[in-house]
Amino acid sequence: MDEKVVILTGAGLSASSGISTFRDENGLWENHDINEICSAGCLDWNYDATVNFYNLRRKDIENKIPNNAHLMCARLKEKYPKKVEIITQNVDNLLEKAKCNEVLHLHGFLEELRCMSCQEIVNVKYDLQDSKNSTCKSCGGKMRPNIVFFGEPAPMYENMHKILDDCGLLVVIGTSGYVIDVSFLTQYADYTILNNLEPSEAIVEECFNKIYYEDANIAYEKIEQDIEKFIEKGEI
């Protein structure tokens, strides 16, 4: 069987690890207007505040550790490197901390800065973006957080659709469906699994063969069993 397992993850994957999500009432986003620090054009008129916000987010992930769901993704990718693809909407590095290889980050990566002129990418790990690294060493352009802001193109979506062309089992973990229409994406797959904390108005339940409404940090065992069964037997 050549069809792949595609695991598409969102903020719910990292919630149990203490990563602030966009919709958390007391998270990093709560006291910020997304139009001022995460929308197309904000770097033109609100550069310093935007950079500072992502400095805070970068520091927020430094001491966070992967949970069972991250480790599951890493195990499956290591065991079935040609069969399993990991795609995430998350900009944190917990999948990488779990030693998960070849993760496709759709919306950017907090560890990275990107030149606004030549697009060169530099990994700064957890360092603050400041006067020492805000000028591109290649062209002298201004650096920015390598994050896809609302209203900006998301070039990695093309890569996601190429991966989904070979999808046999689509596993969606921890996403509301408001940013990416995961119900639409189920048409790529023969079998589909959804794992969210609770139902979402943006997701059509009938599009999924199995649904687990519980924390990914708990549901991971059942999901891992389903994935292994599909890889070994071609069904779930």
Active site residues: 107
Cβ-based burial of 99 (10 A; exposed 0-12, middle 13-18, buried ≥19): middle
Cα gap 231→10, rounded to integer Å: 23
Indicate the angle between helix axes 68-79 and 216-233, nearest 10 degrees. 20
Q: Could you tell me if 114 and 139 are in contact, meaning their C-beta atoms sit under 8 angstroms apart?
A: no
Map residue 24 onto helix, strand or coil: coil
Cα gap 217→66, rounded to integer Å: 10
